[in-house]
Chain A
Amino acid sequence: MNLRQASVLGWVLLGLALLWVGLGVSVGSAGFENLLRPLLDPQAAPEQRAMAQQIFFDIRLPRTLGAWAAGALLGLAGALAQGLFRNPLADPFLLGSASGASLGVALMLAVMGGPGSVLASMMGSGAGFTVFGTGWLVRLGLTGAAFAGAVLAVLLTLMLSSGVQHTVRLLLAGVVVGVVLGALSHLVLLWSPESLQAMQVFMLGSTAFVGWTACWLMLGVWGLALVSGGLLARLLDGLSLGEATARSLGLPLAPMRLALIAVLALATGAAVAQTGLIAFVGLAAPHVVRSLVKTTHIRLLLLSSLMGGVLLMAADTLARWLIAPQELPVGVLTAVLGGGYLLWRMQRGRQLGG
């Protein structure tokens, strides 16, 4: 029945993820190339092997795995948001986290003077930059600023909505915070126009600067968020019957909602901090899963997460390969592909619905 379908989909997504890791590490500035040959060939020149090793282990592998982790975080956050708000259009950025992260980054760029190279060095913790090497401001870095911005924005939303009791108030507060913090970000950029280019990289989303530290960080947060989300999955199932029914079933709505929002903020903040604003993955991943299998939230969360990972990894590989040696910002690609997919679903839904 549905349990078997869900298991099959889970294994397929894991298989696809592994396959795509292989593809992802094979796509470089010259398109597809086999890095394994110099790595495995005993005849290969030592410097050629060292170079291949460096490209493989220090750049492409963390980037590819990082793309999966960021996608998995966004897919999980999307499924959490859609369950929490009982709205299939909810996305992980709904509570103002995207605007908060943007403002954090804009402020940090303005304070630092905003050259693009700083962005690269700050976000690329695997590319030789040590985050513990300098003063607190730099140490906190853009990653910390984005994460702090995202979490603070969600806290602000919670304050404005006076808690988590009313879904509509929460949504409205999220919209207000999003608009106001977005406007403030633009104001900061007007004040510091030299930050514009670096800010653009953040706004469009990119996995290019993901190193091992970022990768492990995201995987750690993913594990934590997945377990916490799993523990709260029953609340989401109960909520799908409406708030009053969920309460009549004895579910403690207020504390559990707060816990869900904390998990949502953590997952979104971690992904945004490392890869910028990547659109549509969080919105589309749960939709794709739901179109394939009908299941309860405990499996939906896991499957949406695996789906998000595969989608972003695929988009990232495409972004690197389509116009190689140039690279498309992955956020642009996910927006175009995700938007196209949702339009197709809408069209199909209309045809089915008559």
Chain B
Amino acid sequence: MDSTALKASNIRARLGNTEILHDLSLDLPAGRWTSIVGPNGAGKSTLLKVLAGLLTHHGEVTLLGQPLRSYTARARAQRLSWLGQNETAADDLTVWDVAMLGRLPHQAWLAGPSDLDRAAVETALKSTQAWDWRARSLGQLSGGERQRVLLARALAVQAQVLLMDEPLANLDPPHQADWLGVVRCLQEVGVTVVSVLHEISMALHADEMVIMAQGRITHQGACVDLTTHRALEQVFDHRISIHPLANQWVALPSLPA
């Protein structure tokens, strides 16, 4: 099997008249968790959209060894799941219904959910601790609770590649830790995870890190490598520093003397 899950070659992408990504190339290893970090406006979310096939661009993206453009929309959706930043959600749908939308790529157009679909939704909702609210409407949930339901929706796709843009938004620290557990479980079953994160300490738990600034990749390497830490400190103008603590790497703000 190809060891690269996603490959981007010479990507240029625009939002309106502004070019956001400038001739960018990267390989994302299969079955690994890669976190994409960088300052605001670096182009992280744009890159994730390009990798998901949601934004027109120049250059080529390859998914699981085949050009992304060669997949039908449905085949792509079965293999690649995407959780957007500040994803909106219908307040009137129940938690169960929202998670079941993740099964759309697997369902025939007029067929109802199969036992497999129900099992996938149950597993996803349980893994994000949202199972108990399955009959409640989304409008009755807090921001963090919604985020867990939307994450369950993305997990319910059971795709080989999972792209997440700011998945920890609105989550409290215990649920951020739970999210880490979910990602670890996905890695164990060979899912490729790519996440854009602002929580640098959480991002440092990944296998690989892609560091971006001004629409370009400034560094790509293992999260445990000290060169990655130095590149990270540099991209944030040394206003953060990376330290070891209790078998983890943590990012701390560099306070003025």
Contact = CB atoms under 8 A, between A and B. Distances in A.
Interface string A274-303: 000000000000000010001110001000
Contacts, number: 79
B93 A296 contact: yes
Nearest to A300: B92
Contact of B73 (A2, A86, A247, A296): A247
Contacts of B53: 248
Interface of B: 49, 52-54, 72-78, 80-82, 84, 87-90, 92-94, 97-98, 101-102, 104-105, 109-110, 135, 137, 150, 153, 157
A90 B81 CA distance: 30
A249 B104 contact: yes
Interface in A215-252: 231, 234, 237-238, 240-242, 244-245, 247-252
Contacts of B110: 231
B233 to A, nearest CB: 33
B93 A238 contact: no
Contact-residue bracket for chain A: 20 to 34
Contacts of B82: 244-245, 248
Interface of A: 1-2, 86, 231, 234, 237-238, 240-242, 244-245, 247-252, 290, 294-296, 300
B105 A249 contact: yes
Contacts of B87: 241-242, 245
Given A248-B52, A250-B77, A237 B88 contact: no
Given A2-B135, A234-B104, A248-B54, A241 B98 contact: yes
A294 B137 contact: yes
Nearest to B77: A250
B124 to A, nearest CB: 14
A240 B49 contact: no
Contact of B81 (A238, A242, A247, A248): A248
Contacts of A247: 54, 73
Contact of B88 (A1, A242, A296): A242
Given A234-B109, A247-B54, A248-B81, A86 B88 contact: yes
Interface pairs A-B: 8 shortest CB-CB? A250-B77, A240-B90, A248-B82, A250-B74, A294-B137, A250-B73, A242-B88, A250-B105
Nearest to B153: A241
A294 B78 contact: no
21 contacts: A1-B135, A86-B88, A231-B109, A231-B110, A234-B109, A240-B89, A241-B90, A241-B98, A241-B101, A241-B150, A242-B89, A244-B49, A244-B54, A244-B82, A248-B80, A249-B104, A250-B73, A294-B92, A294-B93, A295-B92, A300-B92
> In this complex, which of A2, A234, A241, A242 has the most chain B Cβ atoms within 10 angstroms of its Cβ?
A241
Nearest to B76: A250
